[in-house]
Chain A
Amino acid sequence: MADFYLKSRLTMGTNKPPDNSNVQKKFDMSIENLYRRNRRFAGEIRTLIHKYVERLVKIHGKDFKFKFMNFCGTHEWTTVHYGIRSLLPENIELVAGPGCPVCITPSFLVEHAIKLSFEDVRVYTFGDAFRLPSVKPVEGAKSLAEAKASGGNVAVVYSFLDALKESNDYLKDSVFLAIGFETTAPGYAIPMINSLIPRNMYLLPALRLTPPAAEYAIMEAKKRSMSSINGIIAPGHVSAITGAKPWDELSRKLEIPTVISGFEPLDLLLSILELLKMILKNEVGVKVEYRRVVSWNGNVESLNAINTCFEVVDSPWRGIGFIDKSGLEVKDTYSNYDAFKAFSLDKPNRTSWSDDSLSGCKCTEVILGLAKPIECRFFLKVCNPSKPLGPCMVSSEGTCSIWARFGGYLSLKS
């Protein structure tokens, strides 16, 4: 058996002579495929993961579970779509944390947007937020899609740039429902500080920050005395903007090893291996697996732009409530772009905040990684991707939507 294993290692590889002509061109085309279709190497990494778990089990006991949490919808997508969970030993559990900006956009912002769309203000939005339901209906409409169907002025765009171009020609007042995490924020900040936004365009900011939510989710699991998180798989594209530094601080504060991971299947496997290695060595702090994109200091120009026109405030998250220093709001110096001021929309504070989750819907628990979608009694019964009830089923990045579309949940049930 051992011989067979060793032999299989020695006979791998096709030993093709490298074709040095056109290397650069080939390189461009295959750089992602190196991490996406590298099956044989993924097999090797899988073997390594199993070996590391064997070693850890000797120390911690046979029943020890390693719980790793990711904080990006795309990580969950990769995990489910490529079946990463089925490759891992039973001792490793991958959990999806708060990582979808659409799922956590509070209902009151959607209600404001619907109301404005009926008042002849054009509301621009990303495709994901178009179907995001509000809790209370506004003039009969419970989402921007329904508002558009009943005559509201709503336009779906791929990017903020497209909305800028359109509203330049539109001339009447328009509002952009600016949802997103740190990654999307420079897209609003850079046009703002460079005066690229036309005078008739306002922002309805729903920008949120990931590290505070990560901390909240982990503390919440502790509070409810559930098994604690042993490792953090940090979002690669958020870190491209913020840099690895905030994750290092968080990791040292919570004493949980953290790896910033890319989004291809091999990236995730390598990150899990790195986390196991860190646990074995009792290390905390951050390691960057996604070094081809993420640096220690992040994207400094973008961070400067964000700091110039946004300030960090305590913000409400859907179903969760206020989290300290977890949102971005337009600074007073740039208030002429702020839709809250321009249309005198009201903002809830900690005392006036009321829970905006649907009763019976487990979206809040799913977002925080406290429950799996299959534990919700609506999942794939009355709530499915074509007719979503809760916010997690709306966005292509929502955990429920990913599980419903790519399956695998039945085998996970046992």
Chain B
Amino acid sequence: MCWGVPAKVLKVEGFKAYVDFGGGVKREALVAVSDLKDGDYVIVHAGIVISKVDREEALKVLEAYMDMAVQQAREDGLNEEEVKQYYKALKSEVFGDIGYE
């Protein structure tokens, strides 16, 4: 029951929101966050919309840890040119599908 699932909000109607878990099936959920809008990406937990998912933060966290990996590469003895190349490769590996710059 304690299963938080990401979903997309299709329509908000007062305390009720219609969400799509990715299977194309419309399901109802109770809204527990303020200013929810159509098209928002949310976490639904036991039929309750408990939080919005922040796209920017999702990427920032990955970037922060990418920096850590790059720092480690530097400590392992890569020179600056190689570090740059490694960073570029890592970024395209992690974000390649999304086309995030």
Which A residues lie within 8 Å of B97 (CB)? 26, 30, 33
Known contacts A34-B58, A41-B94, A237-B2; A159/B30 CB under 8 A: yes
By the criterion CB–CB under 8 Å, are A179 and B29 in contact? no
A-B complex: 10 closest residue pairs judged by Cβ atoms: A159-B47, A13-B89, A18-B99, A292-B58, A240-B51, A187-B48, A126-B1, A291-B57, A186-B32, A237-B4
Which B residues are CB-close (under 8 A) to A406? none
* Nearest CB on B from A134, distance (A): 18
Secondary structure call for the A interface: helix
Given A13-B93, A101-B2, A31 and B41 contact (CB-CB distance below 8 Å): yes
Q: Tell me which residues across on chain B come within 8 A of A336, comparing CB atoms.
A: none
**27 residue pairs A–B, Cβ–Cβ below 8 Å:** A2-B76, A10-B82, A12-B93, A13-B89, A13-B91, A14-B93, A18-B95, A27-B100, A47-B72, A48-B69, A74-B3, A101-B1, A128-B1, A129-B1, A159-B46, A180-B46, A183-B45, A183-B50, A237-B45, A273-B65, A291-B54, A291-B57, A291-B60, A292-B53, A292-B55, A293-B52, A395-B1
Which of A5, A33, A159, A181 lies in contact with B2, CB distance below 8 A?
A: A181
Contact, CB under 8 Å: B78 / A9: yes
Chain A residue at minimal CB-CB distance from B91:
A13
A127 & B53 in contact (Cβ 8 Å cutoff): no
Q: Which residue of B lies closest to A22 (CB)?
A: B99
Residues of A within 8 A of B48 (CB): 159-160, 183-184, 186-187
Binary interface encoding of chain A residues 165-200 relative to chain B, with 1 for a CB under 8 A from any of its CBs, else 0: 000000000000001110110110011001010000
* Contacting pair A74 B4 (CB below 8 A): yes
Give min CB distance, B17 to chain A, whole Å: 10
Q: Which residues does chain A contribute within 8 Å of B78, judged by CB atoms?
A: 6, 9
* Cβ–Cβ < 8 Å partners of B92 in chain A: 13-16
User: For chain B, which range describes its interface: under 10, 10 to 19, 20 to 34, or 35 or more residues?
Assistant: 35 or more
Partner of A179, one of B1, B43, B91, B93: B1
Cα distance, A102 to B65, chains bound together (Å): 35
Which chain B residues lie closer than 8 Å to A397 at the CB level? 1-3
Q: A15-B89, A190-B15 are in contact. Are A159 and B61 (CB under 8 A)?
A: no
Closest A residue by C-beta to B61:
A291
**Residues A45 and B62 in contact, CB atoms below 8 Å apart:** no
> What residue in chain B is nearest A183 (Cβ atoms)?
B45
Q: Which residues of A contact B76 (CB under 8 A)?
A: 2, 5-6
Query: Which A residues lie at the B interface, using CB under 8 A?
Result: 2, 5-6, 9-16, 18-20, 23, 26-35, 38, 40-41, 44-45, 47-48, 51, 72-74, 100-102, 126-129, 158-162, 179-181, 183-184, 186-187, 190-191, 194, 196, 236-237, 240-241, 263, 270, 273, 289, 291-294, 299, 301-302, 305, 395-397
When the two chains form the complex, which single residue of B2, B41, B43, B98 contacts A34, counting CB atoms closer than 8 Å?
B98
Most buried by A among B4, B53, B88: B4
Contact status A187-B47, CB under 8 Å? yes
Q: Is B23 an interface residue (CB 8 A)?
A: no
Write out the residue numbers on chain A whose beta carbons fall within 8 Å of the beta carbon of B31.
190
Compute how far the CA of A74 lies from the CA of B94 in the bound complex, rounded to whole angstroms. 24
Residues of B within 8 A of A45 (CB): 65, 69
Q: Which residue of B lies closest to A190 (CB)?
A: B32
From 55 to 83 in chain B, residues with beta carbon under 8 angstroms from any chain A beta carbon are 55, 57-62, 65-66, 68-69, 72-73, 76-78, 82
The winner among B2, B33, B48, B96 for most chain A CB atoms within 10 A is: B2
Name which of B6, B88, B101 has the most chain A CB atoms within 10 A of its CB: B6
In the complex, A53 Cα to B100 Cα: how many Å?
32
Residues of A near B91 (CB, < 8 A) are 13
Question: Shortest Cβ distance from A234 into chain B, in angstroms?
Answer: 14
